[in-house]
Structure 1
Amino acid sequence: MATNAEIAGRFEEFADLLEADDVEYKPRAYRRAAENIRAHPTPIADRVEEDDHDVLAEIEGVGDAISAKIVEYVETGSIDELEELRAELPIEIADITRIEGVGPKTAGKLYRELDIETLDDLEAAAEAGDIRSVSGFGPKTEANIRENIAFAREVGQRHLLGEGRPLADDVIDFLAGLDAVERCEVAGSIRRWRETIGDIDVLVGTDAGDDVVESFVDWGSVDSEIESGPEKASVRVGEIRVDLRVVVPEEFGSALQYFTGSKDHNVRLRNYAISRGMKLNEYGAFDVSSLPADEEGRRVGERVAGETEAEMYEALELPWIPPELREDRGEIEAAESGDLPELLTREDVRGDVHTHTEWSDGQTSIEEMVDAAEAMGYDYYGVADHAEGPGVVGGMGLSDTEILEQVEAIREVDAAREITVFAGIEANIDASGRIGLSDAVIDALDVIVASPHSGLDQDAETATSRLLRAVEDPAVDVLGHPSGRLINERSGLEFDATELGRAAADHDTALEVNSNPRRLDLWGSAVQAAIDEGASIAIDTDAHRPSTLEYMRWGVHTARRGWAEPDDVINARTLEELRAFLH
């Protein structure tokens, strides 16, 4: 069954192909529809299959024409108009536009001039020096394309966490409802909350493996069965592969530890076990300290743990290590010394200081966004619409006059509510690191988020200097989505996270974990590097509509991958503490 993300993907492809064909206006409408489809809180396909087409009228930007295409896709698995467009422009548009600086228009021009349809075609043309011969291109552009081919290939094989995890939750809900299932849990990279996943791994503890496998492959959401057997099965749901493995209940804990990974963590943990006369595998923890080897040099030993995952660590006299930390970045040493962090939880978050409204490129009013924040139980909430600047989507940034007008509107809303509403702005960081706000605007605002939106192809040294200048600006409270990356779409800026963290700590500027699942920027290792230098973190949703305030889930787990504790996060602090942090 088609997921919201899959349906949204079709309209994003529509928009890209239309733009590649130099069609105006329509691509923007399709992109807006795709964004709202992706963020819709309920599965659209389920409702359409039940002939409940009212769901389509609920989605902003989805009119009759787009509604008809959604119904066509859900019912047939394709859209005739999209197939015709693909035939006219046989470009692997999603792959090619993952190259930094190659958008749909560029892809269309390269197709018309050089007949480039695939990444292989693009790489061959770049290697041959053909791209620089096209009007508007040059050696620098050609070199950039050549250098980013590998990135485009790699990310094309993985799905966003925000697409995979909701499906994984559905799988777990289904399996947990089966009488034969005693325990079930996701494993692999999705349990470690990595930003992208290859597939979804699910583990079940049961004494009736055949029955569970049969029910799994017959699940109504399954589009196709890849393979199945007595102990495991693989299916495809939409565009995502789901792998099920069944084990006996007494081996569930050891199997969960083993299949969660990461590989590097498991290797380090097994070596740690060996040094203490223990052996770990997917079947349990075994004490081999007093046993001689058998004829083949193996020491099977006495099984001392394996029913629960916590037992596996306890057998090594270690506390349980949260899955987000299992990346071999010092977590085993920290566990041994009693220095594991008390990780932030979703319940610790008290507010969100980077969100948008219809004043710039958001979809709803200030009042509607504040209503949603109040419903989430927040103590405070920040509106930070875009200021004018290069790279701001659709040129929808606010002028100084408009910012000051919005501040007055926010003050009126704040005065009428129990929740504290901050007047903020998302300023653009230009190529040199300046934010370009007037003193009058700076003085009027409660919080200034400064983010890069253009010039994202700078080298690491230049990018680091640029971001440092923004962090050191006394007006800046939060450095927003520091790399500017879009996962699986563009790599964004490379920079020295340690140096950035040190400067952020020195100048009381928070570094953002942008919770949009297409960004997750900062990411785990960068968060850890920044926190190690004493920097504060802000976890924001960058929400453009009420439903996307729920993106906070992705940001919290990303921060946990960076060893973040509540005290590290400015929006886990009380209102008074946050006010004290803001300049």
Structure 2
Amino acid sequence: MSNAEIVDLLELTARLMELHERDAFKTRAFQSAAFNLDKTTADLSQLPVDELVKLPGVGKSVAQKIHEISQTGRLSDLDALLAETPAGVLDMFRIKGLGVKKVRTLWRELGIDTLDALRQAGEEGRIATIKGFGASTQEKILDALTFLQEQQGKLRMDRADELAQRLREQLLPHFERVDVSGQVRRRVQEVDTVQLLVQTTDPLSAMLTLRGMPELLIDERESSPFVWRGRFAGYDVPVELRFNAPDQMDRQLFIQSAAESHLKQPGSAGVALLQAAYTGNDASETAIYERAGLPYVVPEMREDDFAFRWSTQHHHTNLVTWDDLRGTLHNHSTWSDGKESVASMAAYTRELGLSYFGIADHSKTATYAHGLSVEQVMAQHTEIDQLNAGFGDDFRIFKGIESDILGDGSLDYDDEILARFDYVVASVHQTLNMSIEKATTRLLRAIENPYTTILGHPTGRLLLAREGYPIDHRAIIDACAEHNVVIEINASPYRLDIDWRWIDYAMQQGVMLSINPDAHSLAGLLDMHYGVDIARKGGLTAEMTFNALPLEKMQAYLQQRRSNLVK
């Protein structure tokens, strides 16, 4: 099992122990272990008990529990707790703002043990009458329930991509050609159907083959002789496998990978894209666009007519690619809540062929993430200077910080400290329940701060988990243009924030965007692939991508900003 899976089981055990009011000392032991092990780079599944107890926060009892998980994939203590806990009570932990104590109160005092019962209690006003809740909490619970309901049966881009590739690998031994299509190929950030095309001249035999694969769970009512529909074991999202003859694969790959509104677009030839796809012998995607009299559009942008409007000013070859990236600027290390040292993160960045690494650990207000005190900032800068002394002219570590935007829009270091950084990523992490007026005003003040270089994850959203706070995107982008502030495309598949629909407006206003991984581990650096996907979807060109600047230009840019501040 992976470290993340083990930590998740420890966290759930601790949460349920607290819910059922088990021994407080043992509960804290699980909480402490989960908190500390979330940062470890050791392979927990491979360590014996006598090595596990040497890790921070791990006592002998918890070490034995970790060993049990590693050996069996389960934890008997957790199984016993789960048996006592209604499934609906577990679901309540997904509600934003509901901690263990509130869940226990709702369960014990109101007898609520399903999300439906929770919604009914909220709609009847019963939650507001409970001590410690009130009308405001009740309203937030109802809003969170609505959000969760809208997200059911969806996967984030990364998990959908993982499932699609897993399906393709399992199908390829049985079929000559299998293509990932639909929303996954279009790089939709929240996927509600994972679709693949399967080449076959015998759909009946193909269907029998799929029925023989135990992890494929067919939905008999939704399937047909030419389309298998169902689910893959362990995933809640619908799966669709479409059978096509060899001479139809290219044609259908195009059709199935474009949104309906995109296919309806008429071209100068007087026919819509869909009609052009079904006519002519050449079924290649470029030929289809040519027959319609329309410019070629990359799969990521095949949503609606935006791509054609974009094409009046740009060419698809101008879109940013992974190869255009020259560095990475929003990353965390063990100085705050990351899992690797600055040296390790920088070394891996070099292995990826990039020429600069920007560290942006959390600032002092972010105590939950071990934010850096002023003294720690000074110590980290000394370490970076020492590391930079060992590099040649082809690589550099930049000194950054992810400074918390406080409630009034100020940053959480004074100007003397902010001036010591090469750049500052300004982000909101706390007090996220804001009106659009409050959130916009808060961000505007941060943007006006002369030390803000990059505005981090502008809406604070977590895809499929937390709706972002509302902001006036135009006002924010216009302010970034006025104050020469870069906007982040947070490449973490959990965020993908700023939303791709605002990228083109930012470019029109002359605002550069930075594809930042927000990496907390070596693997996290690779999340920039998702950032590139979503950037291309929004039409971002390499020219307007901040971290596509080569090292010498990035150095000159940051030095010029600092010089201007001194003046």
- TM-score range (shorter-chain normalised) is 0.7 to 0.9
**Cα distance in 1 for residues equivalent to 2:47 and 2:40:** 12
1:460 and 1:186, CA in 2 relative to 1: closer, same or farther beyond 3 A?
A: same
- Asked if the contact 2:65–2:75 (Cα under 8 Å) also holds between the matched residues in 1, the reply is no
1:124 aligns with 2:120: yes
What does residue 565 of structure 2 align with? none
From 132, 136, 150, give the equivalent of 1:136: 132
- 1:246 counterpart SS class: strand
What does residue 232 of structure 1 align with? 227
Matched residues, number:
540
From 230, 238, 242, give the equivalent of 2:239: 242
What does residue 404 of structure 1 align with? 378
1:31, distance to aligned residue in structure 2 (A): 6.4
1:68, distance to aligned residue in structure 2 (A): 2.6
1:561 and 1:138, CA in 2 relative to 1: closer, same or farther beyond 3 A?
A: same
Give the letter for the 1:17 counterpart.
L
CA deviations 1:277-311 (Å, max 9, x no partner) are 46736xx735xxxxxxxxxxxxxxxx315632333
1:394 aligns with 2:388: no
1:181 aligns with 2:173: no
1:336 and 1:407, CA in 2 relative to 1: closer, same or farther beyond 3 A?
A: closer
**Structure 2 regions of 5+ residues with no counterpart?**
22-26, 562-567
1:83 aligns with 2:75: no
Worse-matched range after superposition: 570-579 or 80-89: 80-89
**Cα distance in 2 for residues equivalent to 1:306 and 1:109:** 65
1:549 aligns with 2:521: no
1:16, distance to aligned residue in structure 2 (A): 4.5
What does residue 295 of structure 1 align with? none
1:192 aligns with 2:178: no
**Cα distance in 1 for residues equivalent to 2:314 and 2:535:** 20
1:253 aligns with 2:227: no
What does residue 285 of structure 1 align with? 277
- 1:81 counterpart SS class: helix
Give the letter for the 2:248 counterpart.
E
What does residue 72 of structure 1 align with? 72
Give the letter for the 2:226 counterpart.
E
From 492, 498, 521, give the equivalent of 1:522: 498
1:153 aligns with 2:149: yes
- 1:92 counterpart SS class: helix
- 1:24 counterpart SS class: helix
Q: Which structure 2 residues correspond to residues 416-495 of structure 1 after superposition, within 5 A?
A: 416-418=390-392, 419-495=395-471
1:209, distance to aligned residue in structure 2 (A): 4.1
**Cα distance in 2 for residues equivalent to 1:552 and 1:333:** 26
1:24 aligns with 2:28: yes
**Cα distance in 2 for residues equivalent to 1:274 and 1:536:** 33
**Cα distance in 2 for residues equivalent to 1:120 and 1:225:** 28
Worse-matched range after superposition: 397-406 or 5-14: 5-14
1:128 and 1:277, CA in 2 relative to 1: closer, same or farther beyond 3 A?
A: closer
What does residue 289 of structure 1 align with? none
- 1:239 counterpart SS class: coil
- 1:422 counterpart SS class: strand
Give the letter for the 2:129 counterpart.
S
CA deviations 1:166-188 (Å, max 9, x no partner) are 2212333444455x424x32122
**Cα distance in 2 for residues equivalent to 1:328 and 1:194:** 13
**Cα distance in 2 for residues equivalent to 1:562 and 1:94:** 37
**Structure 1 regions of 5+ residues with no counterpart?**
45-52, 287-302
**Cα distance in 2 for residues equivalent to 1:453 and 1:55:** 35
- Asked if the contact 2:404–2:411 (Cα under 8 Å) also holds between the matched residues in 1, the reply is yes
1:219, distance to aligned residue in structure 2 (A): 5.1
1:502, distance to aligned residue in structure 2 (A): 1.4
CA deviations 1:220-276 (Å, max 9, x no partner) are 8x264445765332441422543211111222233222222323323x33xx26981
- 2:280 counterpart SS class: strand
TM superposition score normalised by structure 1: 0.83
RMSD of aligned residue pairs (Cα, Å): 3.4
From 388, 413, 420, give the equivalent of 1:414: 388
1:433, distance to aligned residue in structure 2 (A): 1.0
1:415, distance to aligned residue in structure 2 (A): 1.3
TM superposition score normalised by structure 2: 0.85
Give the letter for the 1:461 counterpart.
E
What does residue 316 of structure 1 align with? 292
- 1:520 counterpart SS class: coil
Give the letter for the 2:297 counterpart.
I
- Asked if the contact 2:402–2:424 (Cα under 8 Å) also holds between the matched residues in 1, the reply is yes
Percent of paired sites with the same residue? 30
- 2:437 counterpart SS class: helix
Worse-matched range after superposition: 26-35 or 240-249: 26-35
- Asked if the contact 1:400–1:438 (Cα under 8 Å) also holds between the matched residues in 2, the reply is no
- Asked if the contact 1:305–1:311 (Cα under 8 Å) also holds between the matched residues in 2, the reply is no
**Cα distance in 1 for residues equivalent to 2:536 and 2:417:** 35
What does residue 368 of structure 1 align with? 344
- Asked if the contact 1:253–1:307 (Cα under 8 Å) also holds between the matched residues in 2, the reply is yes
Q: Which structure 2 residues correspond to residues 160-171 of structure 1 after superposition, within 5 A?
A: 160-171=156-167
1:332, distance to aligned residue in structure 2 (A): 3.1
